[in-house]
Amino acid sequence: MRLPDGFRRTTPPELSGGGSGVEEEIRFHIESRVDELVASGVPEAEARRRAEREFGDRAHMVRRTERESRGGGETTMRVMRWMGEAGRDVRLAMRQVRRNPGLWAAAVVTLALGVGGTTSVYSVVQGVLLRALPYPDEERVVRIWPAAPDDVDGGRQSWSVPDLDDWRERSESLAAIGGYTASLGGMVVPTEAGVPEEVRAAYVTGGFFDALGTAPLLGGTLPSEAEESDPRVVVLSRGFWERRFGGDPDVVGRVLDAQHGAYRIVGVMPDGFAFPDPDTELWTFLANVEQESVPWLLRQVRVFDAVARIAPRTDAAEDDLATAEQELAEVARGIAADLPETNAGITSVELMPIRTALVGDVRTPLLIVLAAVALTLLIACANVANLLLARGAGRQREFAVRASLGAGRGRLVRQVLTEGLLLGVLGGVAGMLLATVAVPALLSRAGALIPRSQAVTVDAGVLLVALAVSVGTGCWSGFCPRCGWAGDRLGRLAVAAATASRRGDCSTGWCSRRWGWRSCSSWRAGCSCGASSSCGPSIRASSRRVCSWRTWSCPVTRTPKTTSASGTVSWSDSRPFPACSERRRPRSSRPAAWASSGRGASGASPNRSPARPVRPRLSTSTGTSSRSCGSRSCVGRCRVPIPSCH
Amino acid sequence: MELLQGTLDVMILKALEWGPLHGYAVSRWIKSTTRDVLTVEEGALYPALHRLRRKGLVESEWGVSENNRRAKFYALTPKGREALTQEADSWDAYARAVDRVLKAESPGGANG
């Protein structure tokens, strides 16, 4: 750049340590102006004052210029403004908390109970019903029983080991079948200090691990054929491995000294593998059980359970199961024909997917409980919304003032949402704390009744669900009571509120008959009623609440003086904007006297008669409603005289 | 008279048309050229200058002024010169249109 004649370049102040360049630039401007004024004869102090005045707000301009020069000025400003407003909203919401600690405490506790209950039960449901079992392709893993349909007691039998061998040899639809028993007592394993400890053990046949299919954490599992290998081997659970061997990674090959001899450790199973019982910690071959104690080689000793893996033939596991059941029944009939003295009655098998076998009994009850707590959460929402609504009457004026001071609709909505969010977060955190306490308590009392209860944890997923539920709840309960206002025209709100306060009448709300509010009310009424009938509290309370809602939807702003039996009211002259209140009423519902005049609301005579047809709604409203409306003025949804009224 | 929104930028560009100036000189030029009819809050000049610089319409450099002070000089870039021509044309069209409307003698226009 070529500077004008007589000027020369210099180092920028940013580089020579002269502070902000913008400041120096502006200082130069003012000094130049002072020089000029002084040269024209103005005293220096006066010149400085005038220069500053002409320049305007110097600090502000420096800030604005720096922002412009940094770039992205508008976006930055918008984000900054948004964040500032959000911060103010949060502070405002906190002030609401401080101003109404009791109300907020009630709301937070209500939400916390709802969220805590739902979270606790959901975490159980998630652990028991939703979390995957540790068996790959679990649809094809089944519990299997030989069945004697002609038997008097339903027919489900247990297995003997020779039976299992026969079925495995003759059937083609079984990829693997393994028998097991966990009822032979534990294995007594002395601790390192020499104290004997009885450890829950399962005695299994070869094929047990093949049927379940779980990959070991370390080493291998028991081989399929016990006869072909050394039977004195053992597989450890992860818990036992950590407890007894300190999680030694070289545990495979070491020896476990048990009371009845030593076992070579061949593998460690991963977390979550607990079959057949939640506390089973060791698995070894049935071959290690003495014939003297359990003569398991006899075909008549039917004391074993079995799991099987169905060979995949089609993509649909159900089809495979049905085919397998038919084929296995034929095998059963074949064996029965060959061994009439021991197997005559056993003519079919029963298969049950492992998930159903494990959790089938508790599935329905758990889901019912979940539905119940979810309903409780809905009631909690409804109650919180009611609490906020009860306070809402007092806050309309605040909103109207904010609106008339220039707060836009979005801004008001955001304030309400921020309050809801704060409520949701507080309630959610309290609910989560409740859940972390409640779940262990629940499991310690009912853990024995719930299968897979060891899989139940309050994990991040569950807590996230809880937080989402509570924040949603908070926003909804905070927002719903005001959806009528927010959707309203703010101008009307402001004018009407100003009118109301001029009249000294702020007794009732803008709980208009908008669909939002109406649907909320009726929804809540339904919810409360449903919940009341299903969960205890009396319906009467809730129907009273419905009546009180009716009071709020009283539709006009006017003060009735007298009510005659014929349904006419004389109105005090102070009522604002009478014509507007008739706007929404369908023509057919107008009383006959009105209709015969043949004129609309705007055509009413200038010297209005004191006697005027009343809206049927006032005279036919419910007892509660007319009592509350008759005795005082009601500010309802009167339309203020905006041009659109006529 | 208050300045119309957006006209400050084009006036700055015009001031720089004949060569680099520092902010104070731009402000003096606008003031004297408009014969004090338009009141420009002087401070508002600087955000506008920096905005124009960010848009690439002007460039700036530090130099020493006639009264031997450090000052920042602004000059038009080719892009700025182009923008000035464009703005001047559209302003001209606009002003002429408004002028015609205000000087029209009857609503009927040419027919009347």
Percentage of chain A lying above the pLDDT 70 cut: 67
Give me the DSSP letters along A224-251: S-STTS-S-EEEE-HHHHHHHHTT-TT-
Q: What is the DSSP letter of B9?
A: H
Write down the ipTM of this complex: 0.85
pLDDT of residue A643: 36
With beta carbons less than 8 A apart as the criterion, state whether A522 and A564 touch.
no
Residue A6 has pLDDT above 80, yes or no: no
**Are B62 and A31 within 8 A, CB to CB?**
no
Which tops the pLDDT comparison, A561 or A115? A115
Most confident of A212-216, A277-281, A297-301, A503-507: A212-216
* Cβ–Cβ contact B27 with A under 8 A: yes
Residue A492 has pLDDT above 80, yes or no: no
* Cβ–Cβ contact A53 with B under 8 A: no
Which run of H or of E encompasses A354? helix A354-404
In this structure, the dihedral spanned by the alpha carbons of residues A258, A259, A261 and A262, taken in order and rounded to 10 degrees, is 10
The mean pLDDT value for B53-79 works out to: 88
Comparing CA positions, the residue from A341, A598, A634 lying closest to residue A507 is A634
User: Could you give the CA distance from residue A43 to residue A37 in angstroms, rounded to a whole number?
Assistant: 8
Q: What is the mean pLDDT of chain A?
A: 72
The mean pLDDT value for A582-606 works out to: 42
Q: Which residues of A touch B62 (CB under 8 A)?
A: 9-13, 21
pLDDT of residue A124: 85
pLDDT of residue A48: 92
pLDDT tens digit sequence for A326-381: 888 888 888 888 888 888 878 888 888 888 888 877 888 888 988 998 888 888 88
The mean pLDDT value for A468-489 works out to: 63
Residue of A nearest to B75 (CA): A1
Which tops the pLDDT comparison, A5 or A221? A221
Residue A587 has pLDDT above 50, yes or no: no
Residue A461 has pLDDT above 60, yes or no: yes
Percentage of chain A lying above the pLDDT 90 cut: 3
Residue of A nearest to B20 (CA): A3
pLDDT of residue A57: 83
User: Could you give the CA distance from residue A421 to residue A320 in angstroms, rounded to a whole number?
Assistant: 51
* Cβ–Cβ contact A10 with B under 8 A: yes
Query: Best residue in A24, A29, A64 to probe B by mutation, most B CBs within 10 Å?
Result: A29
Residue A390 has pLDDT above 80, yes or no: no
Query: Best residue in A2, A5, A7 to probe B by mutation, most B CBs within 10 Å?
Result: A7
Helix/strand/coil for A169? helix
Helix/strand/coil for A301? coil
pLDDT of residue A129: 82
The answer to whether the predicted template modeling score (pTM) of the entire model surpasses 0.95 is no
Residue with tokens 């002609």: A150
pLDDT of residue B79: 92
Give me the DSSP letters along A503-550: TT---S------HHHHHHHHHHHHHHHHHHHHHSS-HHHHHHHHHHHH
Most confident of A45-54, A442-451, B60-69: A45-54
Which tops the pLDDT comparison, A118 or A456? A118
**Beta strands A560-563 and A201-204, pairing class:** unpaired
Report how far Cα A255 is from the mean position of its chain's Cα atoms.
Answer: 49
pLDDT of residue A12: 61
Query: Best residue in A1, A16, A75 to probe B by mutation, most B CBs within 10 Å?
Result: A1
User: Could you give the CA distance from residue A160 to residue A297 in angstroms, rounded to a whole number?
Assistant: 8
The amino acid sitting at A527 is C
Residue A540 has pLDDT above 50, yes or no: no
* Cβ–Cβ contact A277 with B under 8 A: no
Residue of B nearest to A35 (CA): B67
pLDDT of residue A392: 67
* Cβ–Cβ contact A55 with B under 8 A: yes
Least confident of A249-258, A271-280, A426-435, A495-504: A495-504
* Cβ–Cβ contact B43 with A under 8 A: yes
Chains A, B: CB contacts under 8 A, how many? 105
- Nearest CB among B49, B59, B65 relative to A1 is that of B59
pLDDT of residue A481: 56
* Cβ–Cβ contact A9 with B under 8 A: yes
pLDDT of residue A573: 42
With beta carbons less than 8 A apart as the criterion, state whether A266 and A219 touch.
yes
- Nearest CB among B42, B64, B70 relative to A13 is that of B70
Q: Which residues of A touch B54 (CB under 8 A)?
A: 68-69, 71, 73
Query: Best residue in A2, A8, A10 to probe B by mutation, most B CBs within 10 Å?
Result: A10
Least confident of A130-144, A230-244, A477-491, A630-644: A630-644
| Residues 73-102 of chain B whose Cβ lies under 8 A from any Cβ of chain A | 73, 75
Residue A46 has pLDDT above 90, yes or no: yes
Rounded to a whole number, what is the distance in Å from the CA of A411 to chain B's nearest CA?
A: 27
Residue B9 has pLDDT above 90, yes or no: no
The mean pLDDT value for A494-512 works out to: 42
**Are A4 and B51 within 8 A, CB to CB?**
no
Residue A111 has pLDDT above 60, yes or no: yes
